[in-house]
Amino acid sequence: MAQQRDLPSLLAKIDAFIERELAPLEKDHPQFFDHRREFARTDLERGGAPSREWEELLVEMMRRADKAGLYRHGLPAALGGSDGTNLEMGVIREHLANRPPGLHSDLQTESSCVGNFPIVLVLHALGSPEQRKLVEPLLRHEIVCAFGLTEPGHGSDATWLETRAVRKGDDWVLNGAKRFNTGMHIAQYDIVFARTSGKPGDAKGITAFLVRTDAPGFEVPYHHWTFNMPSDHSEVVLRDVHVPNSSIIGGEGEGLAAAMLFVHENRIRQAASSLGAAQFCVDRSVKYARERTVFGRPLAVNQAIQFPLVELHTDCALLRELIRDTASQMDDHGGPAVSDRVSMCNFRANRLACDAADRAIQVHGGIGYTRALPFEHIYRHHRRYRITEGSEEMQIRNIARSLFGFGHRAPGRSQR
């Protein structure tokens, strides 16, 4: 099993950084954190994309975190990180989510004072020497790279994507469309997945291309207005976009490896964040129920209040053990070896966060439904996680494939 650092000391260091560096920034920009939060963060004149002032504040947060030695914790030492393990990152992300939403961990952009960098890991692991030169500028926020897998007609069924790339001399010509292509309002690069060989449904034959967003034929017609705003989830159209052969990431026809590296990292860390948010909702609800007096008695004495919160609290405890054990197994064996367990963590934790936020609203009554409290904000953000990185239905299907032996492993072969 991978050796772990002194996590309590690390969490204390993170908390001290938040209070010392980020709390004053939040105080200076209250409109981004009170009842005005989504309105202040959204630029209505730019199609609902994040406002520049909000994004500048996020970048300042990340710069301060980098200077404090926290931001790159989960990255390899070769990239200035601390070789942080999946287990450590799981504990950290739960810890960051188990407090009121704030600058330390923005749910909409998934920016955090301890960063999550799936695109950096893709370029570092699979990119050419030239492509890997983009890693440091990405970490310093000098450039932005997006990830274009989902399409108007295809989401979880990614191997059926319709974007095509055809070889033409030393170039490839891309045609197709992408949907919910996050970050395209500011990105200089986009990792675009296109079929270069094989037939629809084949895992082989999908290639990942690093595409300049200013390339002729690359268009971003609009951003989607979503359940939670601001939204940088863009629609992208590619019409005869020419890219050199050197733009391929990880080998022709092998693009699915890049996609899987991306989603496995995100799935386990999403799960940890959802767990932290769920526990926060439970803890706040218990506190309120103990303080609130109804009919001359504390609200907490009512079993109708106790029982749902007990169930949620129990689910949090069970998931905490599953997530941490799965993260440790990922450190020892790699994400693909425990893909079914990662899916278990992901779909159950994301659903739990939504259930806990909904229950918190109910326990708090009318005031819980207002924007004065954070529960509606938590619900709307974590509801997205039940769709992204593979919908919860796809996560369940992944588990069933392992359980019933429809995949490459026989039932019961998951690492324990």
- In DSSP notation, 127-162 reads --HHHHTTHHHHHTTSS-EEEE--BTTBSS-GGG--
Q: Which residue from 384, 281, 395, 277 is spatially nearest to 346, judged by alpha carbons? A: 395
* 52 burial level (CB within 10 Å; 0-12, 13-18, 19+): exposed
48-64 residue pLDDT tens: 999 999 999 999 999 99
**What residues of the chain score a pLDDT lower than 50?**
1-2, 409-416
CB 173 within 8 A of CB 241: yes
CB 375 within 8 A of CB 278: no
Strand partners, 222: 235
Instruction: Identify the pLDDT of residue 184.
Output: 93
- Equal fold, 145-254 vs 256-403: no
Top CATH class of 145-254 equals mainly beta
Top CATH class of 256-403 equals mainly alpha
- Exposure string of 88-106, with b = 16+ CB inside 10 Å and e = fewer, is bbbbbbbbbbbbebbbbbb
- Spans of all domains in the chain: 7-124, 145-254, 256-403
User: Cα separation of 405 and 230, whole Å?
Assistant: 42
Residue type present at position 317: A
User: Cα separation of 351 and 93, whole Å?
Assistant: 17
Instruction: Identify the pLDDT of residue 406.
Output: 84
Instruction: Identify the pLDDT of residue 408.
Output: 52
What is the gyration radius of the CA atoms in the chain, in angstroms? Answer: 22
